[in-house]
Amino acid sequence: MVNTKIILDENDMPKKWYNIQADLPTPMDPPLNPKTHEPIGPEDLSAIFPMELIKQEVSQERDIRIPKEIWEIYRIWRPTPLIRALRLEKFLKTPAKIYYKWEGVSPPGSHKPNTAVAQAYYNMKEGIENIATETGAGQWGSALAFSTQLFNMNCRVYMVKCSYEQKPYRRVLMENWGAEVHASPTNLTQIGRQILKKDPDNSGSLGIAISEAVEDAATHDNTNYSLGSVLNHVVLHQTIIGKEMKEQFKQIDDYPDIITGCVGGGSNFAGSAFPFVQDKINKKHPDTKIVSVEPLACPTLTKGQYRYDFGDCGGLTPLLKMYTIGHNFIPASIHAGGLRYHGDSPLLSKLTKEGYMEAVAYYQNEVFEAAKIFAQTEGFVVAPEAAHAVKAAIDFARMCKSKNEEKTIVFVNSGHGHFDLSAYDIYNNQKLCDYHHPYDKIKECLNELPEIKTDTQCNV
């Protein structure tokens, strides 16, 4: 009888994160100062980030030790199980083996606390008492609220207005963990007031909420900013997922042929995939297919350009070289709130540009259809973001069926959907709209990007 769950002993939980910067075939393009367009130094970031995270951002060390205090907190829910989706395989009549790495078992219900705990810890160590942040779906905000509370810190969350309205229970969860939550754009910041003046009904975006949180941190004493995705140190902390997965596959003497996961800013998928991308770079497993999944309503990797752009809407953050559809992009109100970001992790973007990873995009109805198949076979109701990965895994399993191939597929199941039931309700009542972000709109936003001399653009 095959095991359904592959579970690591707590003592075998990784003690180090994996930093892919040590293995990159070519170096990263540096982040640039948003005004001078010159490479930034640590001092440019120290107003809003603790020095230890700034060091991790640029570190070339391959293995970075997880401090004992963080490791002890991870033990509340980690190691997370790798689960064989036997019932889904049977339903699809596929010869493929489907596994998923289940991150929905954390207290906030997603992969986000893997970095939230680490970020809160390093801020606390440097004497910071307040953290400002943004949140889309509310997963990141709740993970940070959970983590700051563990270290007796205050947390202020700018929550994208449409998610604030769609997901009131996420707000309650954050407040339960002691956070202050505001619907963004707010009247609390200069950038928020500017946006509301032009457009009082603005439904918000992650880009706007980031600007508000960065402004908050820069203008308040003893306050730092925390980002739930995109940056190198965030991805680094998420590699605990991929390192566990590798150990789990070793236990069953298997190795994935196809790895897939959803991409908002890229942290859950980069963190899961990078230990396997390392094997591709080192030519140990050169043929592994590593596929990011995004919504057609926010097609950053599939229709964007690889070039320098701001991380936020207000142009306050450093310019990052990444796939982007433009920082002024206002996404449609799809239910995968966490996948509505205009850019992507620079590391994931670079590895995609260089061909180590690839990407697909889906409409939200087909994604919810896949999530329902998953719920009716495997039982778990997944977050709309994670449902994108379910859809891709099902598509690959069907492809294996048509070619009669016995491949091993694994997808990252990044979170549960218990606070997303209103979205399922809309889908069940056939009232969910499909959006794709039109090419002309993407071009318009890309025309507003700063001109950087060294930028090599790829074609849309």
Question: Judged by CB under 6 A, does residue 262 bind ligand PLP?
Answer: yes
Helix (H, G, I), strand (E, B) or coil at 400: helix
With respect to ligand PLP, which residue has the nearer C-beta, 262 or 320?
Answer: 262
CB nearer ligand PLP, residue 136 or residue 326: 136
266 makes contact with ligand PLP (CB under 6 A): yes
- Closest distance between ligand PLP and the C-beta of residue 237, in Å? 11
- Number of other CB atoms surrounding residue 354 within 10 Å: 12
Among 189, 224, 239, 414, binds ligand PLP (CB under 6 A): 414
What Rg do the C-alpha atoms of the chain give, in angstroms? Answer: 20
Residue 289 β-bridge partners: 258
In sequence order, what E strands does 95-146 have?
97-102, 130-135
For 418-452, the DSSP string reads TT-HHHHHHHHTT-PPP----HHHHHHHHTTSPP-
CB of 182 to ligand PLP, least distance (A): 17
Binding to ligand PLP (CB under 6 A) within 195-254 occurs at 229
In angstroms, how far is CA 276 from the centroid of its own chain? 17
Q: Is-contact 209 189, C-beta < 8 A?
A: no
**Toward ligand PLP, which CB reaches closer, 148 or 414?**
414
- Selected from 204, 264, 304, 315, the binder of ligand PLP by CB under 6 A is 264
CB of 9 to ligand PLP, least distance (A): 26
Asked whether 233 and 195 are in contact (CB, 8 A), the reply is no
Residue of minimal Cβ distance to ligand PLP: 338
Residue from the set 338, 351, 374, 409 that interacts with ligand PLP by CB under 6 A: 338
Give 44 or 385: the residue with its C-beta nearer to ligand PLP: 385
Among 147, 242, 415, 437, binds ligand PLP (CB under 6 A): 415
* The one among 92, 120, 347, 386 contacting ligand PLP by CB under 6 A: 386
CB of 272 to ligand PLP, least distance (A): 9
Show the DSSP H helices in 151-228 as ranges: 161-166, 168-176, 190-198, 206-219
Q: How far apart are CA 329 and CA 309, in angstroms?
A: 12
- Total site size for ligand PLP, rule CB under 6 A: 20
Q: Which stretch binds ligand PLP (CB under 6 A): 121-129, 210-218, 304-312, 378-386?
A: 378-386
Q: Which of these segments, 70-78, 260-268, 299-307, 443-451, binds ligand PLP (CB under 6 A)?
A: 260-268
Q: Does 370 bind ligand PLP (CB under 6 A)?
A: no
Residues 112-151 touching ligand PLP, rule: CB under 6 A, are 136-137, 139-140
**Smaller CB distance to ligand PLP: residue 145 or 263?**
263
Q: Do 81 and 7 meet the contact criterion of CB atoms below 8 Å apart?
A: yes
Restricted to residues 16-55, the positions that interact with ligand PLP (CB under 6 A) are: none
Using CA atoms, how far apart are residues 316 and 135, in angstroms rounded to an integer? Answer: 17
> Judged by CB under 6 A, which of 309, 385, 395, 420 binds ligand PLP?
385
Candidates 146, 127, 140, 111; CA nearest to 210 is: 140
- Are 253 and 109 in contact by the 8 Å Cβ rule? The answer is no
- What angle is formed at CA 115 by the lines to CA 31 and CA 224, rounded to 5 degrees? 60
Contact 354/321 with Cβ under 8 angstroms? no
- How far apart CA 340 and CA 322 sit, in angstroms, is 15
Least Å from the CB of residue 421 to ligand PLP: 14
H/E run at residue 368:
helix 364-377
Of the ranges 14-22, 257-265, 295-303, 451-459, which one interacts with ligand PLP (CB under 6 A)? 257-265
Task: Note the residues at the interface with ligand PLP (CB under 6 A).
Answer: 110, 136-137, 139-140, 229, 262-268, 338-339, 383, 385-386, 414-415
